[in-house]
Structure 1
Amino acid sequence: MKNYAIGGVEVVSQILANKFYDEGHKVTFVAFEKPPELLTNELNKGIVIHVLDLPLYSESNVLKLKDIIIENNIDIIINQWGLPFEPTLLAFNAKKGTSVKYISVQHNVPNNNDRLVKVKTSIANSRGFNKYLLKIKKKAIQFITAKSMHYVYFRSDAYILLSQSFIPIFKKFINLKHCNKLEVITNPITIDDKNFNYSESEKRREVIYVGRLDHNQKRVSRIIESWGLIESNNPDWKLTLIGDGPEKSNIISQIKDLNLRNVTIEGFQNPKEYYKRSSILLLTSEYEGFPLVIAECMHFGVVPIVYGSYPAVYDIIRSEFDGIIVSPDENGFNSKLMAENLEKVMKHQNLLQEMAKNAIHTSKRFSVDKIYNLWLNLFERVINQK
């Protein structure tokens, strides 16, 4: 994997690694940064982590990875960084002369990423010759990204997408005619509590956001803007932001400018206790792959109200049944429409409770056990294929 910081990919990797290990598989991690204790403390102590050197590809890393493969009798490498070609080039050379199979995972919607969103935003805010140059830059980024994915796909024995809806997007983006290597395996719920029992009386009138405080992807300012339209009409409700990030100071300023009184920022926390007590999750991201927070909150009977800017959300939520998807209008995000949908659920407790119970049932599709079985079936097929 790219590194071993605290993020969705790393947490998913840790959860699956522990499950694989508990089921009798030998698991080894390879990363390019030393892992923080917050994650390694959750990793089974029998799982060894190896840290390679930067830059990603070097003859030294090839030799080190080859030694790891041989010493640990590795059968399958899972590349959790399915976009750039360097990790695949490294693994491809390290596994030469072995029967090791190689599986890559793309954790985002294939035709969008941080760099593309940034340049699209710059284009929207530019004029004249500068706008023309930015459009050229956008095409260059798209071309390089597609070529890199193309390289990784054809050197993998299987290539994992997180949503069925990503298959046509991926095929078009990299100009792929035959997709016999494509597989769809969603991320599992990473925060689980098999002893949790939904109780209406224990739920507070609280709306939560869980994630990074950033502008480019998460667009937390949209949450504050939407909340500002309804807070005064709902003084018994509160909004809690669980997370931190580069946009925090701007969010604090926005809260002050709107004179909002029922908003708190908790910083990075284990969200489990917030899931147990809160009633609604609000998510207004500009793009996502498969957002873990949606399935996790549903497990605890938290109703997700989500901006439908990415296709995977339609695979998770049945709008008006176990949550609400607010689709983009002709101008994109509409804070008034988001606020109206949020307030509708806040004001109708019967609707909220019905959706919460439906959400709990839906979340079972993303249990670790179910996702593990999908991986296990894939392992068997990949190992046995010629």
Structure 2
Amino acid sequence: METQMPNKRPVIVYGASGYTGRLICEFLREYRIPFIAAGRNQARLETAMEKVPGIETADYEIREVDHTVDALAGLFDGAQVVCNSVGPFELYGETVIQACLKAGTHYLDTTGEQHFVLPVKEKFSDDFQKAGLLLAPSTAYMHATLDIAVSFAAAEHGITTINAHCAAAGVPTYGSTQTVVRSARAQEFFLKDRKLQPWARGKKYEVQLPLWGEPQLSLPWTGTALPIWYEGHRQIENLKALVCFADNRSIMEQVFGLISMYDEQISDKSAEEQEAILTQLGESIQNGMPPRENRQVHRNFDRAVGFGPRRHVEYRVHSTASYQQTGLLQAFAANQLLADANMVSGFASPCQAFGHEAVLSALEDYGYAHLEKAI
């Protein structure tokens, strides 16, 4: 591994020792992009990098850094793109965004927290746009992949309303589990008449999907990033997104139970007490690193049904291995940014920044996804 100063490598993976961070590094190697594997613990970073497939041919270095704006900005200085996978993002994300703005780097992350994405858009989009920088949270499966189907539907003439559904497969990581338990206290939003409206709290949704005989128990899952991405869209007035785990009702019942538990047992406690309880609760569910996904087993189904006054359309994305997709999406986005191929700056989705056809092609090229028009 060659030793160089950090500003000689254009991409920084912050949180590289985690499950998703390692996958981002794996796909940056595929794109032959030099990177810095950064995090708060040198030993963990070194151990994690040893397990990245093909790492011996990657151009990278490891950097330990404190989680402060100044320390991170110092590391980011001279780089062009930061891929942030340190969650829960409601606890750690804003510090990284501030550091990116200070250092003048594009920002990508893997968040699934609508309650993080919404204030980020409000606080930072204008500053990133003025600086000519992209601010793209949720560059990840369950958001970007579903948005491919939504984007194709939204591009059809006369479509004003979209109902989207993500049927995911797999085992949540430690970070994802910590995010899920904290999301139990969050208000979730959908788009109605071009405005964000709250979902009814503590309500289950039974959705019939074409691949399963039984209705799938679904939840807003923090609301997803999609209603925020389409707020202000020239054509789409209404958008709802629901999530289920494909043919795995027990996971959804468990998540629904977390919402009830929070409302009944945790909501009246102090912020410090809540944080301790939620952390412990998340660790009781998942306190380790799950095995690598199997692309023959972990199959996802994302659907967008679009309606207009006189017609409707339906687009479906069949895909595999959601966390691997996330690693690929991050590396693809970084590669596009290094080539100045982004179409917008400021707050945007990957499909808005690079085009939904390009995002789809990135997944198709690696055999992760296939799009079909059902109607």
TM-score of the pair, normalised by structure 2: 0.38
Q: Which has the larger radius of gyration?
A: 1
Greater RCO, 1 or 2 (C-alpha within 8 Å, sep 6+): 2
**Higher strand proportion:** 2
